[in-house]
Amino acid sequence: MTAMETSPAKAFREDAAPAVANQWWRGAVIYQVYPRSFSDSNGDGVGDLKGVLAGLDYISSLGVDAVWLSPFFTSPMHDFGYDVADYCNVDPVFGDLEDFDEIIKKAHRLGLKIIIDQVYSHTSDQHAWFEESRQNKTNPKADWFVWADAKADGSPPTNWQSVFGGGAWEWDSRRRQYYLHNFLASQPDLNVHIVDVQDALLEVAKFWLDRGVDGFRLDALNFAMHDPLLRDNPPAPSDGRPKTRPFDYQLHKFNQSHPDIPKFLERIRDLTNQYQGVFTVAEVGGPEPMAEMKAFTANGTRLDSAYNFSFLYAEKLTNDLTKRAVRAWGRATDEGWPSWAFSNHDAPRAISRWASEDNSQRAAKLYAMLLLSLRGNAFLYQGEELGLPQANVPFEALQDPEAIVNWPATLGRDGARTPMPWIAAQPNAGFTSGTPWLPVDARHLQLAADVQQAEPTSTLNFVRTLIALRKQNDVLRNGDLRFIEDAAGLLAFKRDLDGAEALCVFNLGDDSQHWQPPRPEQFTTIIDAGVSDDNSALPATLPPLSGYIAFSR
């Protein structure tokens, strides 16, 4: 018997309403599954695709529109799947292609779309393309990766630095050249300037589209092309933020963000247009991502959406941060559609960054309400609906290369990747019958899905209610958003669509705030977090970490 066969997932419904066809993704709620940590079906301590298959009932019960699956492809797992050794196969630790096909079938039966990662900026050094490329300078794939000669003194071609620490060039004795790796040395960068490389990547996308996937998240997209002139990056000016790695000391002008990337995206769009209702979203990192995000989503000829790390890496959630992030997306006809994420596999969990442990569940409800009120798509990371805090992972149990290199300067990513707690009373919270690849945090047991399923006022059931509210009210999915500037101390905005209005008000701070709109009788409170039990009238006072959504009468 597997962990998931005894989990609450089996009790959840299979009757989700089918999504709207072509632009189902506009305003969608998308649930991110990190397969290694979702559910282990065979007791080896690592989550797998059969675990995901069983868990689809639970995901469907949340009311979300789609599932984003983090990488499950063949990989040596040096970066846990983001180092791909075979783009068109499943790593044995997760299962096989038949397991994936079963996920597609069941998800579609439940009315869920499936989105998968595509990693086009780099591969694993164990990928057949790189193994051929490194043999010599004349083979058919010799230029499929970024190779360059050493400088006269033997040093690397440029001063570019790796995200994971140290220089971004690795010497290869067979080619007697350096190759570029913006991440681990075992993750050589593809030369996506080359048309043959683009063609091969498009064949990968077609392989998965033909298997029935409904969309792609393009990982580390702005690293997909480099400066062919190999110019040095300039130093980064001091902005007051601490620099924890050499990468932070440079402006990444030449090792990423090349202006030809959008041309490749137009080729991707030409492919996805041959299928119905395919959604594409870019991950765009960096301190000034908006220009790239808009370029990547412009004119309806590239990607549908993009998101950045404005919330994911923020140490504090503030009114100003939210306003800046949202206002960056206007209503221009040539502009793409925004997506938002507060937590994911790459960032410490939001409630541990933004709230004290004493206020964690109160904060979890408030943050979910804000996320699901914003104009755009909402990415909900597994366990976020449970209000999970960042797990404590001791140094000796760390697996993530970034966490190990930067210990203890950063929280690292492992604390956001620990196993999903399904059943509080079972070993390893019902995730596995074996030894989990990362330890289960004892604090997560009281927040397990079975505990919260039985508690009407739990964070889990509150999030379900929020998602249902968003689905039932198109003004929350697709309405315009206008901030209210006179709500002193509060984050307040209206969503408007075809005469319907939703008033969304949040107190993100530590002090009570007093405010009502000019004619409060025009609104009725539908749902609130931490305000009161009386929804008959708009509250005049919002306690710390509280908020509400009200609709026009």
Q: For residue range 279-322, what is the model confidence (pLDDT) as tens digits? A: 999 999 888 899 999 999 999 999 999 999 999 999 999 999 99
Q: How many residues does the chain have?
A: 553
Q: How confident is the model at residue 536 (pLDDT cuts 50, 70, 90)?
A: low
* Window from 88-97, 170-179, 462-471, 511-520 with minimum mean pLDDT: 511-520
Mean pLDDT calculated for residue range 457-468:
97
Spot the catalytic one: 99, 125, 283, 414: 283
SS3 492: strand
* Window from 18-22, 55-59, 291-295, 427-431 with minimum mean pLDDT: 18-22
pLDDT of residue 3: 36
pLDDT of residue 537: 80
pLDDT of residue 162: 97
pLDDT of residue 400: 87
Q: How far apart are CA 350 and CA 426, in angstroms?
A: 27
In CATH terms, the superfamily for domain 124-191 is Oligo-1,6-glucosidase; Domain 2 (3.90.400.10)
Element (H, E) at 528: strand 523-529
- Residue for token pair 């908006």: 290
Mean pLDDT calculated for residue range 407-418:
84
User: What percent of the chain clears pLDDT 90, i.e. is strictly above it?
Assistant: 85
pLDDT of residue 553: 84
* Window from 115-124, 446-455, 526-535 with minimum mean pLDDT: 526-535
CB 449 within 8 A of CB 421: yes
DSSP letters, 388-421, are PPPPP--GGG---HHHHHHTTTS--SGGGSSPP-
Asked whether the predicted pLDDT for residue 175 surpasses 70, the reply is yes
C-alpha torsion 388→445→47→17, nearest 10:
-60
CB 261 within 8 A of CB 222: yes
pLDDT of residue 19: 38
328: number of Cβ within 10 Å: 15
Asked whether the predicted pLDDT for residue 11 surpasses 70, the reply is no
Q: Known catalytic residue: 283?
A: yes
pLDDT of residue 350: 97
Residues of the chain with CATH 3.90.400.10: 124-191
Say if strands 546-552 and 500-507 run parallel, antiparallel, or are unpaired: antiparallel
Mean pLDDT calculated for residue range 461-472:
97
User: What backbone phi and psi angles, to 5 degrees, belong to 492?
Assistant: -135, 140
Residues of the chain with CATH 2.60.40.1180: 479-552
Q: How far apart are CA 292 and CA 259, in angstroms?
A: 9
* Distances 388 to 108, 348, 375, 396 between C-alpha atoms, Å: 28, 11, 25, 22
Mean pLDDT calculated for residue range 18-47:
89
* Window from 55-64, 178-187, 325-334, 419-428 with minimum mean pLDDT: 325-334
pLDDT of residue 359: 92
CATH class for the domain made up of 479-552:
mainly beta
Mean pLDDT calculated for residue range 93-112:
98
343: number of Cβ within 10 Å: 26
Q: What is the pLDDT of residues 216-253, one digit of tens each?
A: 999 999 999 999 999 999 999 987 777 888 999 999 99
CB 393 within 8 A of CB 418: yes
Asked whether the predicted pLDDT for residue 421 surpasses 70, the reply is yes
Q: How confident is the model at residue 535 (pLDDT cuts 50, 70, 90)?
A: low
Spot the catalytic one: 117, 125, 189, 219: 219
Mean pLDDT calculated for residue range 340-356:
96
Asked whether the predicted pLDDT for residue 12 surpasses 60, the reply is no
Identity of the residue numbered 540: A
pLDDT of residue 534: 63
Q: Known catalytic residue: 346?
A: no
Q: What is the pLDDT of residues 180-226, one digit of tens each?
A: 999 999 999 999 999 999 999 999 999 999 999 999 999 999 999 99
Mean pLDDT calculated for residue range 479-506:
95
Mean pLDDT calculated for residue range 153-180:
97
Task: For the chain, count helices (H), then strands (E).
Answer: 13, 20
pLDDT of residue 364: 97
Residues of the chain with CATH 3.20.20.80: 4-121+195-225+241-471
pTM above 0.85, yes or no: yes
Q: How far apart are CA 219 and CA 217, in angstroms?
A: 6
Q: How confident is the model at residue 533 (pLDDT cuts 50, 70, 90)?
A: low
pLDDT of residue 4: 35
Asked whether the predicted pLDDT for residue 528 surpasses 80, the reply is yes
Asked whether the predicted pLDDT for residue 116 surpasses 60, the reply is yes
Asked whether the predicted pLDDT for residue 406 surpasses 90, the reply is no
Q: How far apart are CA 499 and CA 457, in angstroms?
A: 32
Q: State the architecture of 4-121+195-225+241-471 in CATH terms.
A: Alpha-Beta Barrel (3.20)
- Residue for token pair 């202006």: 259
* Window from 59-68, 281-290, 364-373 with minimum mean pLDDT: 281-290
The single-letter DSSP state of residue 313 is T
